[in-house]
Amino acid sequence: MNKRIICFYALAMLIILTFVTPLGLSQTQYDLLLQGGHVIDPKNNLSGVRDVAILNGRIAAVAEHLDASTAVKTVDVSGLYVTPGLVDIHVHVYASTGERNSYAGDNSVFPDGFTFRVGVTTVADAGCAGWRNFEDFREHIISRSRTRVLAFLNIVGAGMRGPNFENNLADMEVAPTADMCLRYKDLIVGIKTAHYAGPEWTPVERAVEVGSKVGIPIMVDFGANRPERPTSILWTEKMRPGDIYTHCFSGIRNELDDSGRLNPAMSAGRKRGVIFDVGHGGGSFAWPVATEAIKEGFHPDSISTDLHIGSMNAGMKDMLNVMEKFLAMGLSLDDVILRSTWNPAREIQHQELGNLSVGAPADVAVLRLENGDFGFTDMYGARLRGTKKLTCELTVRNGKVVYDLNGITRPDWNTLPKGYRQTGDPRWDAVTPRPVIPPSK
């Protein structure tokens, strides 16, 4: 009897191996396979046609060819560019408080409506909250967003709530700011000082003190242009290597000298290791400054938007629009992707992001590069013509599709059974992973 049972199980296993394996799930190695796209991965010095495979929210393989049958879902992205998810390190997204005229309130935007549709998977809020209100920001925005939201903590305890708060030197406290950074070191990536109107160096010095205690950079929006604290001293003496000067092409804080050339102190600051970030915003990007800097070979280290209600429909439209401006000024697509992925990821000390290395979080943007006649405006509404435009076709966050402009991951409706409901699979799809229940009649 025992021999018969053994023979029965052996026969059953043979049947499974012979018939089930070629047809079934045991061959599946990946959840999602992006096939045939031009991969740009600056960290790994890769720019060429490759397939990218994803499993369990991580990059599983990048190779010249991967068999489509090895994935639950294979998507043809030939003719498109596949890049790491874009990393925008200057946004304002503390939008939940209802406070008027405040970046800890109505001046900010909820992130998910502005990120995935342009390939952004990670943002860093630039100082909307200080130590007094960071936990509210964390509860109401960071923990509820599908976008990965990190933060620069404002040196002002009350956060970015207008001049009465941001000019209050007494609320720029080192100890509680450092304590909050240590409590949430997985979320807080730096210290922000912004909009200060006085003549003192205090905001910068205290931000640096916190940054030195905690081991994180500071980001400086230098506020009013005061002769008592010139930017030349800021770049060459006050800021440390790895600290970030944002709004670097605004032209309102002596980024150009009297002759219209780039301020030599910017180049001197860069030699010291100071980082120069775009931070376009509604009032921080001018063509005379940007074009002169590019002409002199001074490219930004990172491209960022300074997204808020005053910039989102003005000269700055979104992350891709800012990237397109640098294409129009002569940078290559590979250079622009570097400054929108790997460079900002390193600047905020999150080197697990901004790349497509095997094992990295599977945050991916699939972009179309269009040729045509386009126009791009600066903070004053002046136009620069360009011939290239980027469109986001697909965004993947943590291994799942979160945005699909033209339905390239989807079957044509008339190929589906009558009464179809579900077209996705929770292993790769975060848009329609479950059936949509029609309303009752």
Amino acid type, 90: H
**In degrees rounded to 5, what are phi and psi of residue 265?**
-70, -25
The topology under which CATH files domain 85-387 is: TIM Barrel (3.20.20)
Q: How far apart are CA 63 and CA 151, in angstroms?
A: 34
Q: Tell me the domain boundaries of the chain.
A: 85-387
Instruction: Give this prediction's pTM.
Output: 0.93
Look at strands 120-126 and 148-154 and give their pairing: parallel
What ranges in 192-312 are assigned the alpha helix state H?
202-214, 231-233, 264-272, 287-295
Q: What is the pLDDT of residue 6?
A: 45
Q: What is the pLDDT of residue 148?
A: 98
Q: What is the pLDDT of residue 314?
A: 96
The answer, yes or no, to whether residue 163 has pLDDT greater than 50, is yes
Q: Give rounded-to-5 percent helix, strand, coil for the chain.
A: 30, 25, 45
pLDDT digits (tens, 9 = 90+) for 348-397: 999 999 999 999 999 999 999 999 999 999 999 999 999 999 999 999 99
The answer, yes or no, to whether residue 26 has pLDDT greater than 50, is no
Q: CB within 8 A of 194, min separation 6: which ones?
A: 126, 127, 154, 160, 166, 220, 221, 223
Is 239:218 a contact under the CB 8 Å cutoff?
yes
